[in-house]
Structure 1
C-alpha cells in the first residue's frame, strides 16, 4: 500500500510601506515622490483620473515639469475614474497595455493618481502584471485618503457584485496630497467623512465625539479640520490592518466593513448613483438601529449616531431599501447579506455596535428585525416626512 509523504511549507513575509501626508507633491521642491522613486530603477509611468485633469487644468504640465526637473521621464495615461472603471474590463486592459508598451517591470513604478475606484482598478492591474509591480498611490478624495487608498486591497466589480475580482497586494507607498481635496464637490467632500464616522463608532469614541463637535466646520469645508480627520481615520485603518492579525482577510471577520454589507448592495441597486460614502452612511444607520433593536445600544446612542449623520448632510434612508410601490423591505437587501457571506468565505460575520466606540461581531441577522430597522429609518428620514403617500401607506 502506498504511503503518502508530506512536506510542510512555512514562511513569513514582512510588509511595510509609508503613508505620507503632504501638500503640492508635484512641486519640484517637494521631494516626497522623487525620494521614493530613487529606491528603484526610477523608471515610472503614471495613470491619472480624467476628473483630476479637468479640475486641475495644469496638472499634466506640472507632472511633466516635475519629472523633467528631477532628470526623469514619465509617460502619462488619462483614464476615467468612478465605478465606471471598476465595471468595464476594457479599462483594465488599457492599463495593462500601457504597462506592457512602456516595459514597466517589477523594479519600475506605476503611479496612480485618483479616487478610490481608480486606485482599486489600477492597483488590480498592477498586482496582476508581472505578478506585481511597484504601485505608488496618490489618493485624491477624502474617502481614498482616509480609507481605501491606505490599505492592501485592489479590486474590480464583476457578475453584478462589488469587488468580486481582486487581490491583496500592498502598495509600495501612499502619498496623500491635501490640495486635491480643495477641488472636490460637496458630495465627494462629505462622502469620505462616512468612513471616519464608521471607524470612530467601532474603535474610538473620542474621535466620534470630535467629529460630532466639528460637524458645522466640516460642512463649511475647514481644511485644517479635514486634514486632521483624514489623518486620524487613516491612522485607525492602518493600525487595524497592521495589528489585528488578519491583514489579508483569511478569516471571516472584517470589522472595518461595519455598515458595508448593505452599502455594497445599495450601490449596485442604485446603478452606482449613490456614492460609496453615501451608501455607507445608510448602512451605518441601518446597522446602528439593528444594534438597538437587538438590545445593544441605548436610545440616546442611536439618536447621537443618526443625528451626526444627518447633520453632516447624509440621507439615512434610500427608497431602494424598499420594494417599489411598497413598504416591504427589498428582497435584494437580503441577497446582499448572502453575497457578503460569500465574500467572507462562507461564514457570515457582521459588525454591530455594543456602544459608541466599541463593536461586537455577530454571525447571523434576523430578517424580521432588519425589516423593523428599515421601517425605523424610513420614518426618521426626510424622504418619509416630505412624502404624504408614504405617510398614508404607513398608517
Structure 2
C-alpha cells in the first residue's frame, strides 16, 4: 500500500462592504484581479435570485455598468441569469441543469467565475451547480440576507433537496470569496431580516459568551432591526462561523458532529413538515427552545440560564412554538423522526450539540424522547398563555 498525506490549504475570504456594484467600489474587481492567471479579463457568469432582482429593480443595470467600467479585469458573458430563489428552488432539479447549460454555453472554465447573488437557499443551488461543473468553477458568493451573510452563505456547503430530504445531494467546496454587501439588507422584508439574528444567538451560545452578552444588551434594538447592531451581529456571527470552519479540524464533516447545527435537528424537520412555510430562522428558534428546555429537563443546563436565552429569543421577535409540532403519525409526533434523519444525513452515530452554559457546548449521542416531549409540552403551554395575553390586549 502506498500512503502519503496530501496537505491542502484553502483561503476563506469574507469581505464586508456597502454598494458592491458602485463602480468606485473595487472589492469585487480586486478579488477577481488577484487570481487572474491568463493575462486577460476573466469570464464571469452572474446567477441572480429572482426575489433579489425584484426587490432591487436597478440591480441588473448596476451589475452591467460595473462590468463595463472594469472591463480590463472581468467580462460579463451575458446579462445576469435570473433564477427562482427561496427554499423551493432547491426542490427543482431542472434549475441545476440550467446552470450547467449556461456554464457550457458560455464556455466557463476553472479560470472563470460564477457569481451567485441571493439568499442562502439560492446560494446552495448555485454553489452546487458551480461545484459540479468541470469538477469545480470558482464561486464568488454574494449573500443578500441576514441569515446567509452571517451563517449559511459564509460556509462551505452546497446542496439541493432530494427524496424529500433537505440537502440530500450536495458538495463541500470552499468558495473563492464571499462579499457581504450590507446594502442588500434594506430591501428585505421584516421577517427575512429577522431570521439571521437567531443564527447569531446560536453561534454565541456555543462559542462566544461575550457576543451573547452583546446580543442581550442590544436585544430590543435588534428586535426593531436597528441597522448598526444588526450589522455588528452579522459580522460577528460570520467571524464565529468562519473561525469554527477553519479551526475545528473537521471543515468537511467527516466526523459525526455538527456543532454549528445546535437546534437544527428539530428545525430541519419542522421546515419539512410545514412545507417550508416556517422559515429557517423561525424553525431554528423553535428547535433551540426545545433543546434548551430538554437540557433543563435532564439537568444539563440551569433553568435560570435557559430563561435568559428564551427571553432573548422572544425579545428579538421569534415565537418559541409552532403549531406544526402538533402533527402526529401513528400517535407519535412527526418531529421526533428528525432525530434519525439528522443522524442519517451525516452518517455514523447520532450526535446532537447541546449547551451546558452560555458559550460552552456538549455533544451527546442519545436523546431521551420522554424528556423531549416534556420540553415540548412546556413550550406548548407557554405559547397558549402568550396567545391568551395577546387576545386580551
CA distance in structure 1 between the aligned counterparts of 2:223 and 2:136, rounded to whole angstroms: 40
Which residue in the other structure is 1:126 paired with?
A: 130
How far does residue 337 in structure 1 lie from its aligned partner after superposition?
0.4
Which residue in the other structure is 1:56 paired with?
A: 56
Moved more, 102-111 or 92-101: 92-101
CA distance in structure 2 between the aligned counterparts of 1:239 and 1:386, rounded to whole angstroms: 40
Moved more, 107-116 or 197-206: 197-206
How far does residue 346 in structure 1 lie from its aligned partner after superposition?
2.2
Q: How does 1:173-322 map to 2 (within 5 A)?
A: 173-322=177-326
Which residue in the other structure is 1:386 paired with?
A: 387
CA distance in structure 2 between the aligned counterparts of 1:384 and 1:344, rounded to whole angstroms: 38
How far does residue 256 in structure 1 lie from its aligned partner after superposition?
0.4
How far does residue 217 in structure 1 lie from its aligned partner after superposition?
1.1
Q: How does 1:345-360 map to 2 (within 5 A)?
A: 345-360=347-362
1:323 paired with 2:327, answer yes
How far does residue 323 in structure 1 lie from its aligned partner after superposition?
3.0
CA distance in structure 2 between the aligned counterparts of 1:164 and 1:140, rounded to whole angstroms: 24
How far does residue 329 in structure 1 lie from its aligned partner after superposition?
5.6
Which residue in the other structure is 2:2 paired with?
A: 7
1:362 paired with 2:364, answer yes
- SS of the counterpart of 1:73? strand
The alignment's TM-score, normalised by the length of structure 1, stands at: 0.93
Q: Equivalent of 1:375, from 374, 377, 388?
A: 377
Which residue in the other structure is 1:393 paired with?
A: none
The alignment's TM-score, normalised by the length of structure 2, stands at: 0.94
Moved more, 314-323 or 246-255: 314-323
CA distance in structure 2 between the aligned counterparts of 1:352 and 1:242, rounded to whole angstroms: 21
How far does residue 9 in structure 1 lie from its aligned partner after superposition?
3.9
Which residue in the other structure is 1:20 paired with?
A: 15
Which residue in the other structure is 1:35 paired with?
A: 30
Extract unaligned runs of 5+ from structure 1.
1-5, 389-395
Which residue in the other structure is 2:45 paired with?
A: 45
CA distance in structure 1 between the aligned counterparts of 2:97 and 2:308, rounded to whole angstroms: 46
CA distance in structure 2 between the aligned counterparts of 1:145 and 1:50, rounded to whole angstroms: 18
Extract unaligned runs of 5+ from structure 2.
none
Q: Is the 8 A contact 1:321 1:329 kept in 2?
A: no
Moved more, 41-50 or 276-285: 41-50
CA distance in structure 1 between the aligned counterparts of 2:357 and 2:59, rounded to whole angstroms: 45
Which residue in the other structure is 2:70 paired with?
A: 70
| Cα offsets for 1:126-146 (capped at 9, x unmatched) | 110000000000000001000
- SS of the counterpart of 1:251? coil
- SS of the counterpart of 1:274? coil
How far does residue 344 in structure 1 lie from its aligned partner after superposition?
2.0
1:171 paired with 2:168, answer no
CA distance in structure 1 between the aligned counterparts of 2:315 and 2:230, rounded to whole angstroms: 16
How far does residue 324 in structure 1 lie from its aligned partner after superposition?
5.6
- Aligned length, in residue pairs: 380
CA distance in structure 2 between the aligned counterparts of 1:58 and 1:378, rounded to whole angstroms: 45
How far does residue 210 in structure 1 lie from its aligned partner after superposition?
1.1
Q: Is the 8 A contact 1:198 1:258 kept in 2?
A: yes
Q: Is the 8 A contact 2:194 2:225 kept in 1?
A: no
- SS of the counterpart of 2:48? strand
Q: Is the 8 A contact 1:285 1:306 kept in 2?
A: yes
How far does residue 96 in structure 1 lie from its aligned partner after superposition?
1.1
| Cα offsets for 1:212-248 (capped at 9, x unmatched) | 2112211222211111101100001000110010000
| Cα offsets for 1:14-47 (capped at 9, x unmatched) | 1113100001000000001011122225111100
